[in-house]
């Protein structure tokens, strides 16, 4: 059985629900542009499963993941960066000046880095003595850290078995109106589908889940988090074949609006 899920409409529009469920997440995209009846049901419904098709008039822009995150950080903002070491690639990222936490430190924000890798934290602390780092799991209580204007959760959710508990913990330290910036691998990525046709799967050894646009939105909805913005990103590569593939995917996305890039980025917020 193959079930295609898509995103629900933004606040004020009706949305179909399955038995026992509540109205879908309230999506907005750059001022609620183009979020029009994105969740369109097929007539086929079975038990608690409702089939949806994607409204291809809604297009998720292709962005650079790191640039998108850094663009949401205002000088002076209080920022929590979860998964700040990118372990076990910490040293490689530091050597290539590609560690996101290193870039955030240069954004003139009040920054705390959170990670549960002792080795990774030691490497980051050695490279950046000015870093304020905390050794803790994201599912633990973080209330002693205070409240934050921005929480960065980049490529972390797919590593967590209980993502709902992790987001609930972070929600408690996110100020009302604050931004929770989430990036995750995309369950609808065309590259993964093409590899599957040749009986291959490329996956990080610690990944335990994937997220489509709708699934990520439904998770946010459970926690009373509103999706302000969602986009997609492609993993860049120096290999000519990969660059050519990304160019083709960008072209197809531009024509079709299909959410088939490698990953998703989403800005979530709590209203109260």
Per-residue pLDDT at 47? 55
pLDDT in tens, 192-206: 999 889 888 888 778
DSSP string over 160-217: -S-HHHHHHHHHTTEEEEEEEEEEEEBTT-HHHHHHHHTT-----TT----B-HHHHH
pTM of the model: 0.80
Q: What are phi and psi of 224, to 5 degrees?
A: 60, 40
Per-residue pLDDT at 146? 96
| CA distances in angstroms from 13 to 42, 58, 76, 218, listed in the order given | 18, 15, 37, 16
Residue 264 pLDDT greater than 70, yes or no: yes
The C-alpha atoms of residue 186 and residue 212 are separated, in whole angstroms, by: 6
Per-residue pLDDT at 26? 36
The C-alpha atoms of residue 198 and residue 153 are separated, in whole angstroms, by: 32
The C-alpha atoms of residue 192 and residue 268 are separated, in whole angstroms, by: 26
Residue 223 CA to its chain's centroid (Å): 15
pLDDT in tens, 1-25: 333 333 333 333 333 333 333 333 3
pLDDT in tens, 152-191: 999 999 989 899 999 999 999 999 999 999 999 999 999 9
Under 8 Å between Cβ of 61 and 46: no
């Amino acid at each position: 059985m193959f079930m295609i899920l898509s995103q629900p409409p933004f606040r004020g529009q009706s949305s179909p629900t399955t038995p026992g469920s509540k109205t879908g997440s309230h999506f907005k995209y750059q001022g609620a542009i183009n979020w029009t009846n994105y969740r369109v049901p097929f007539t086929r419904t079975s038990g608690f499963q409702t089939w949806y098709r994607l409204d291809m008039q809604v297009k998720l822009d292709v962005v650079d993941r790191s640039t998108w995150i850094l663009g949401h950080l205002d000088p002076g903002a209080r920022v929590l960066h979860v998964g700040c070491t990118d372990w076990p690639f910490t040293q490689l990222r530091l050597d290539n000046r590609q560690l996101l936490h290193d870039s955030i430190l240069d954004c003139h924000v009040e920054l705390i880095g959170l990670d549960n890798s002792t080795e990774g934290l030691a490497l980051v602390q050695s490279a950046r003595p000015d870093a304020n780092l905390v050794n803790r799991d994201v599912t633990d209580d973080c209330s002693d850290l205070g409240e934050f204007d921005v929480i960065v959760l980049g490529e972390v959710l797919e590593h967590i078995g209980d993502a709902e508990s992790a987001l609930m913990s972070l929600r408690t330290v996110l100020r009302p109106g604050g931004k929770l910036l989430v990036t995750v691998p995309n369950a609808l990525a065309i590259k993964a589908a093409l590899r599957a046709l040749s009986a291959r799967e490329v996956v990080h050894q610690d990944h335990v889940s994937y997220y489509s646009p709708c699934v990520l939105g439904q998770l946010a909805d459970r926690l009373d988090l509103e999706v302000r913005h969602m986009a997609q990103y492609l993993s860049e590569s120096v290999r000519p074949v990969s660059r050519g593939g990304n160019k083709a995917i960008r072209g197809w996305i531009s024509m079709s609006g299909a959410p088939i890039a490698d990953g998703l980025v989403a800005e979530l917020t709590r209203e109260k």
